[in-house]
Structure 1
Amino acid sequence: MMDKKSPGSNSPHEVPRPLIYKGRGAISNHSGRFEQFQHADADDGWDNLEQELAPITTEVLIDNTRSIINWNNSPDVPFDRSINPYRGCEHGCIYCFARPSHTYLGLSAGLDFESRILIKPDAAKLLRKELSKKNYHCAPIAMGTNTDPYQPLEKQQQITRQVLQVLAECKHPVSIVTKSAMIERDIDILAEMASAGLAQVFISVTTLSNKLSRSLEPRAAAPQRRLETIRRLHEAGIPTGLMTAPIIPVLTDPELEQILIAAHEAGATSAGYVLLRLPLEVAPLFEEWLVHHYPLKASHVMSIVRQSRDGKNNQANFHERMRGSGLFADMIRQRFSLTSKKLGFNKRHLEMNTALFQVPGRPEQLGLF
């Protein structure tokens, strides 16, 4: 146990123990910033550092939230409301900007975030209740803005599908971002909604390299599988776009044009991007991962990250946090814009249909009179 004031300090002779768990992204589990003491595993001289660690089993916890719609007024995102069926994400993406949210629960942004997942089993029930409020005004709801609604637990829990069933019943528009092929399971719902202008999907593709993806986002679908998902959604008539997020200097930015071209060939009609963000605990977790997996590139990557973030690991300012600033950020912006224009991306903005919205239960209530 180390004092809170120096969570990352080590003596010259102290070697931190790397936690290399198969199928997990983070390689540490430091306590969150709100905890009084900082806990971290370290080699005590008895363990064999070469010994493979036993797999971490995912722990499912219940989130007894009383509301399901999250509201925001950020100028950086094109929506004012969202739904997150899960807190934490099994995909284990080391770059995930949502990791610090686990510290509000007294958990770690590291391994806890991807192995101790909170589910919201009453999400559909809560959604129906909130859509029934007299002052509710219909506008597109976003899913996948914080943690992935189609992470592995969804296969058994089906919370996302239940939410979509309520939205379809109420004819309420929804926009989804995911990096999972599991969304194909819900094509039956999404295709019908899309035919009425009520659904659109964005598939996140970070890299086309299977090797990089396996360590960067260990439990997410393989890159080619995501492209196949774009194809299947497009063939089902569902407006499908690409999110190249995040773009990581040195590691993934050389692939930017190839990713855009591959997604276009698969049927994507729009595209967006986000430059790597490293808020709070994400910065040391990412740098730790980087030093372990890409030691020869680590300093180069972090140098460009800081050049693009006013000399810091992260920018929290509106209008800058998604795109960054400086020469590298400007170059990414120009490359993305030029290639997107050549491919015909984003020629028109898809307007979601809000005129069809029906308050849950209202037709049945009217039928009593």
Structure 2
Amino acid sequence: MTIQHASRPWMNSELEVLRDTARRFFESECVPRQPAWVEQKHCDREIWRRAGELGLLCSGIPEAYGGGGGSFLHEAVICEEQQRALVTSFSINVHSGIVAHYLLAYGSEAQKQRWLPAMARGEMVAAIGMTEPGAGTDLQRIKTTAILGSDGRHYLVNGAKTFITNGWHADLICLAVKTDPEARASGVSLLMIETRDLPGFQRGRLLDKIGQRGQDTVELFFDGVMVPAENLLGNEEGRGFRQLMQQLPRERLLIAIGAAATMQRAVDDTLAYVTQRHVFGEPLMAMQNTRFKLAECQTHATIARSFVDDCIGRLQRGELDVPTAAMAKWWSTQTLCQVIDECLQLHGGYGYMNEYPIARMYTDARVGRIYGGANEVMKEIVARAMED
């Protein structure tokens, strides 16, 4: 008897068509290329353009700006299918789900018209530059500066960023800077950086990670980079920290959506393995320990999916608050690691071999407890909300 998963409360026929398109794209055009992308530590540039052709980029951005005219639901479907396929070598979440929405929410009309259509077509790849060598979760302590020149027309940017997803291909970077180096939160601003042929801008090495090894994660350096003042996001300096905080629930929910999708993939793969694997003359699935462990893992996956679906509904209604998004992020990524560990154990020695997807899931999933705000910080957010 197959477990009947509850229907998604937010799904409709349009989203099912999108899901089918996304699934075919990731499985047929990305999965076969993953080994090559892992070897070179970045995807091929043309995959971004192909995703744009299929309408998989900026799906939640209005058609007036070149997007798909959809909503967060469209982005959620694409996120689920990318994570289900274990395609981790480029981040549509960062490009479409995060940077595009900073532009949509805070950009001027000219900024939206200039960058969003090119992002939707995959002609420009976007990244967000927050983390620095000495400042990760505490964004108030960033050291990268953007000082407005005496003519008021250009900012002079100096500093460095690290762990930047999509950084190798990035043509556009939403950069967190200090426009007032002496202030904390009130000194943070967001500046849009076009990188092509930009004097003083340099990409560092492709970072060697334990997981998501095909993802182009790099260091970025800014040495006297001149950026037009009109590239400031928002109509005045010092709004960046507030802008970041307003958008983080969306980012954290996308992480939770991906974790829930990967969790179910881990369970499905393991069920298939233990059904055909024989130990002591009978299927591994016939052993009580195997059955109990898988029952536990499926229960976790079902709870994760239900929690995520509830959060998606809240976001659509404008009701997803910061503490709830933090709960979804920390719990789903923590539980994902636990479920994958149990599933890998059921694979035995084969679970330790990279040729098996469960091994790649094991290393790829670990960073989920770190990025988007470390899980310890998520718990602090929840605890503070409980005190209010």
Normalized against structure 2, the TM-score is what?
0.27
Normalized against structure 1, the TM-score is what?
0.28
